[in-house]
């Protein structure tokens, strides 16, 4: 018989975890302050529960012959929504930016603000990385190209 090993679970109890920190990252050289300094974007990881909600919001079901009802995740939209919610500054959901870009969709605002080459992809990649999805970067880059 082996002895039962005990582990200290107190580290995982409510109130013991450290809240996700804000991370400042330059996404584009085009956004500069009056002194010419690049303005960093500010990110913060979102909760697993919110990521699950975003996945549900971006999932549809299709009837596929021979396979029945099949789940279809709009991964491009899903990752963009994670990025929107993880980006504290600039707040692409703000009324001011949505009105300035004549759209109610914060994803469209982000696409219009980050309109040069790899800016949008850089932004998506950083948001995904901050939320712990590093393994899926290749898929994200491919989705951002489309």
Count Cα neighbours of 134 within 13 Å in the Cβ-side half-sphere: 2
pTM, entire model: 0.76
For the chain, list the domains and their CATH numbers.
Answer: 19-142 (3.30.2220.30)
Segment 78-98, tens digit of pLDDT: 999 999 999 999 999 999 999
Q: Is the pLDDT of residue 120 over 80?
A: yes
- 69 vs 33, residue with greater confidence: 33
In order of 41, 73, 80, 145, the CA distances from 109 in angstroms are: 15, 22, 11, 17
- Calculate mean pLDDT across residues 32-60: 94
pLDDT of residue 17: 62
The percentage of residues in the chain with a pLDDT greater than 90, rounded to a whole number, is: 64
**Which one has a higher pLDDT value, 67 or 127?**
127
């Amino acid at each position: 018989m082996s002895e039962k090993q005990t582990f200290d679970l107190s580290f995982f109890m409510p109130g013991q975890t450290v809240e996700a920190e804000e991370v400042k990252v330059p996404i584009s050289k085009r956004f500069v302050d009056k002194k010419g300094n690049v303005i960093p974007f500010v990110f913060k990881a979102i909760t697993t529960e919110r990521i699950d909600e975003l996945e549900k919001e971006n999932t549809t079901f299709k009837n596929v012959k021979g396979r029945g009802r099949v789940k279809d995740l709009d991964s491009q939209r899903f990752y963009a929504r994670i990025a929107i919610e993880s980006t504290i500054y600039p707040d692409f959901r703000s009324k001011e930016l949505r009105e300035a870009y004549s759209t109610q969709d914060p994803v469209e605002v982000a696409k219009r603000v980050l309109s040069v080459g790899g800016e949008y992809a850089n932004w998506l990649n950083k948001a995904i990385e901050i939320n712990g999805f590093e393994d899926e970067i290749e898929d994200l880059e491919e989705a951002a190209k489309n």
